[in-house]
C-alpha cells in the first residue's frame, strides 16, 4: 500500500531534476502521473515506470499545453487529484545592472512565463477537475522565494510571486482544493537560462555550496520526494493549505561565523 494509492497527478517539469525524482516517488507511492516537460526526456519515465506514467511533451507557458496535460489525465483515468507546478528556468543569478534595458522585457516575459504564468495556467486548466476531486495543488518555489541571492532579480522576483500564488489560490479555492508549495534550497540540477539573455544551462550547485549549508550536504533530488508526497496526501496534509514547506538544508538559519553551530566541532 502506498500513501498515494489511486491518486492521479499532473506534474510539470518532469523531464529532469526534482520533478523527475518526484514522479518516481509518486509512482512508488501508488500514484499515476501525467509527466509534462518541454523536452522529449520525459518519455524515458514511461519506459522506466510503465503504465504509472503518461508522458506529455508540452510548453507549460502556453494554455494549450496545460489543457492537453489535464485532458490526458482525465481521458486516461477519469479524475485528477493533484496538480504539481514544478517547471522552472533560471536567470543564472544575473544582476539587474548586467541586463541591458532593452533586453529586460523579453527576459522578464520568458522567465515569468515559465515560473509564474505556467503554474497559473496549470491550475486554471485543472480547476474543475480538482474541485470535483477535492484535490491539491503543489507549486515549487525556492529559497529565492523569501530571500535575496538565491538568483538574480528575475528569478528571485518570480519565486516570491510563486509564494503569493500559493497564498492567494489557497484562499480562493478553499474549502475544496488545498494549495501549498515546497521551497527547496539546493539540488544538483542544471536549470535552463533565458534565451532572451543568451543563457545556456547553469549548474544549480556552485563551488562552496556544501560548506555553506548548515546541514553540510548537497541533497540529491530524491531528498525532496517525501515533502511533495506529504503535501499530496489527503490523510497526512489534510489540515494544510496556504503553506510553503521550507526544505533548504538550513539556509534560512545560517550563521555568520559558522554555517551551523556544530560545524567544525
Q: Are 193 and 92 in contact (CB under 8 A)?
A: yes
Residue 129 contacts ligand NAD per CB under 6 A: no
Could you tell me the three cell numbers for 78?
477519469
Cell numbers 481521458 correspond to: 75
Q: Which is nearer to ligand NAD, 168 or 195 (CB)?
A: 195
Residue appearing with cell numbers 514511461:
46
186 binds ligand NAD, rule: CB under 6 A:
yes
Sign of the dihedral through C-alpha 252, 157, 21, 11: positive
Q: By CB under 6 A, is residue 39 in contact with ligand NAD?
A: yes
Distance CA 265, CA 190 (A): 33
The backbone torsions φ and ψ at residue 119, rounded to the nearest 5 degrees and listed phi first, read -65, -30
Residues in 205-264 that interact with ligand NAD by CB under 6 A: none
With respect to ligand NAD, which residue has the nearer C-beta, 8 or 204?
204
Instruction: Name the percent of the chain in helix, strand, coil, to the closest 5.
Output: 45, 15, 40
Q: Any bridge partners for residue 7, and if so which?
A: none
Q: Does residue number 37 form part of the binding site for ligand NAD (CB under 6 A)?
A: yes
- Closer residue to ligand NAD in complex, CB, 135/141: 141
CB of 235 to ligand NAD, least distance (A): 26
Q: Which is nearer to ligand NAD, 87 or 99 (CB)?
A: 87
Given candidates 59, 67, 223, 250, which one binds ligand NAD under the rule CB under 6 A? 59
With CB under 6 A as the contact rule, the residue among 9, 13, 161, 165 that binds ligand NAD is 13
**Rounded Cα gap, residues 153 and 179, in angstroms:** 26
Which residue out of 26, 155, 171, 224 is catalytically annotated? 155
Q: How many residues bind ligand NAD (CB under 6 A)?
A: 28
d(Cα 46, Cα 263) in Å, to the nearest integer?
A: 42
155 is catalytic: yes
Q: Which stretch binds ligand NAD (CB under 6 A): 59-67, 164-172, 227-235, 238-246?
A: 59-67
Closest separation in Å from C-beta 156 to ligand NAD: 11
Grouping H, G, I as helix, E, B as strand and the rest as coil, residue 113 is helix
- Residue from the set 187, 213, 227, 231 that interacts with ligand NAD by CB under 6 A: 187
Strands 190-192 and 201-203: antiparallel
Residue pair 224/18 in contact by the 8 Å Cβ criterion: yes
CB atoms within 10 A of CB 261: 11
| By CB under 6 A, residue 17 contacts ligand NAD | yes
Residue ranges in contact with ligand NAD by CB under 6 A = 12-13, 15-19, 37-39, 59-61, 86-89, 114, 140, 142-143, 184, 186-187, 189, 191-192, 204
Q: Mind telling me the catalytic residues?
A: 155
Amino acid at each position: 500500500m502506498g500513501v498515494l494509492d489511486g491518486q492521479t497527478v499532473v506534474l510539470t517539469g518532469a523531464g529532469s531534476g526534482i520533478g523527475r525524482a518526484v514522479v518516481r516517488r509518486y509512482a512508488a507511492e501508488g500514484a499515476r502521473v501525467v509527466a509534462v516537460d518541454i523536452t522529449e526526456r520525459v518519455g524515458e519515465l514511461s519506459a522506466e515506470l510503465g503504465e504509472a506514467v503518461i508522458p506529455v511533451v508540452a510548453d507549460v507557458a502556453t494554455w494549450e499545453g496545460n489543457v492537453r496535460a489535464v485532458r490526458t489525465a482525465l481521458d486516461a483515468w477519469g479524475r485528477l487529484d493533484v496538480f504539481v507546478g514544478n517547471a522552472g528556468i533560471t536567470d543564472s543569478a544575473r544582476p539587474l545592472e548586467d541586463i541591458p534595458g532593452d533586453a529586460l522585457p523579453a527576459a522578464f516575459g520568458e522567465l515569468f512565463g515559465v515560473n509564474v504564468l505556467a503554474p497559473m495556467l496549470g491550475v486554471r486548466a485543472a480547476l474543475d477537475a480538482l474541485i470535483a476531486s477535492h484535490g491539491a495543488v503543489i507549486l515549487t518555489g525556492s529559497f529565492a522565494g523569501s530571500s535575496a541571492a538565491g538568483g538574480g532579480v528575475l528569478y528571485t522576483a518570480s519565486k516570491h510571486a510563486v509564494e503569493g500564488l500559493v497564498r492567494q489560490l489557497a484562499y480562493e479555492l478553499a474549502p475544496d482544493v488545498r494549495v501549498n508549495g515546497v521551497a527547496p534550497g539546493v539540488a544538483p540540477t542544471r536549470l535552463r537560462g533565458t534565451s532572451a539573455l543568451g543563457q545556456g544551462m547553469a549548474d544549480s550547485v556552485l563551488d562552496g555550496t556544501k560548506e555553506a549549508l548548515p546541514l553540510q550536504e548537497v541533497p540529491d533530488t530524491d531528498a525532496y520526494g517525501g515533502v511533495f508526497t506529504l503535501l499530496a496526501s489527503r490523510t497526512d496534509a489534510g489540515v494544510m493549505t496556504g503553506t510553503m514547506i521550507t526544505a533548504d538544508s538550513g539556509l534560512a538559519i545560517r550563521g555568520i561565523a559558522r554555517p551551523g553551530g556544530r560545524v567544525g566541532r
